[in-house]
Copies of this chain bind each other. A is one copy, B any other.
Amino acid sequence: MAKQHQVSPEAKPAGATIYSVAERAGVSIATVSRVLQGVAVVAETTRQKVLRAVDELGYVPLGAARSLAVRHHEAHGLVLPELSGPYYAELLMGFEARAAELAQSVVLVLTNSRTDLAAAVRQLATRVDAIAVFGAAATSHDVLRLLHAKKPVVVIAGEPRDQVEAVTAENLESARELAGHVLDHGRRRALFVGDPDSGPDIRDRYAGFVAAHDDRGLTAAEPVRVALREADGAAFAQELLQGEHEADALMCANDELALSVMTTLQDAGRTVPGDIAVVGWDDVMTSRYVRPGLTTVRQPVHELGALAASRLHDLVSGEPVRTNAQTLPTQLVVRSSCGCP
* A-to-B contact residues, CB < 8 Å: 14-16, 58-68, 73, 75, 82-86, 88-90, 92-93, 96-97, 100, 105-110, 113-114, 120, 122-127, 145-151, 259, 263, 285-286, 289-291
| A58 CA / B62 CA spacing, docked (Å) | 27
Chain B residue with the shortest CB-CB distance to A123: B105
Q: Number of copies of this chain in the oligomer?
A: 2
A93 touching B73 by the CB < 8 A rule? no
A124 to B115, CA, bound (A): 27
Q: Is B151 within 8 A of A60, CB to CB? A: yes
Nearest chain-B residue to A66 (Cβ)?
A: B126
Contact A108 B108 (CB under 8 A): yes
A123 surroundings in chain B (CB, below 8 A)? 105
The residues of B that contact A105 with a CB separation of less than 8 Å are 107, 109, 123-124, 127
A125:B60 contact, CB within 8 angstroms: yes
Residue among A67, A146, A151, A291 with max Cβ neighbours from chain B (10 Å): A67
Q: With A63-B127, A123-B105, A289-B259 known to touch, is A92 a contact of B86 (CB < 8 Å)?
A: no
Among the listed B61, B83, B100, B263, which residue makes an inter-chain contact with A113, where contact means beta carbons less than 8 Å apart? B100
> Within the complex, what minimum Cβ distance (angstroms) separates A287 from chain B?
9
Q: Are A60 and B127 in contact (CB under 8 A)?
A: no
Would A75 and B127 count as touching, CB distance under 8 A?
Answer: yes
Contact for A89 among B63, B83, B107, CB less than 8 A: B83
> Does B96 contact A110, Cβ atoms closer than 8 Å?
yes
Residues of chain B within 8 A (CB-CB) of A114 are: 100
Question: Can you name 20 extra interface pairs (CB under 8 A) apart from A14-B150, A86-B86?
Answer: A16-B149, A62-B68, A62-B126, A64-B73, A66-B126, A83-B90, A84-B86, A88-B89, A96-B108, A96-B110, A96-B113, A97-B113, A100-B109, A100-B110, A100-B120, A105-B109, A105-B124, A285-B286, A286-B289, A289-B289
Choose one: B60, B93, B289; the contact of A149 (CB below 8 Å): B60
B122/A110 in contact, CB under 8 A: no
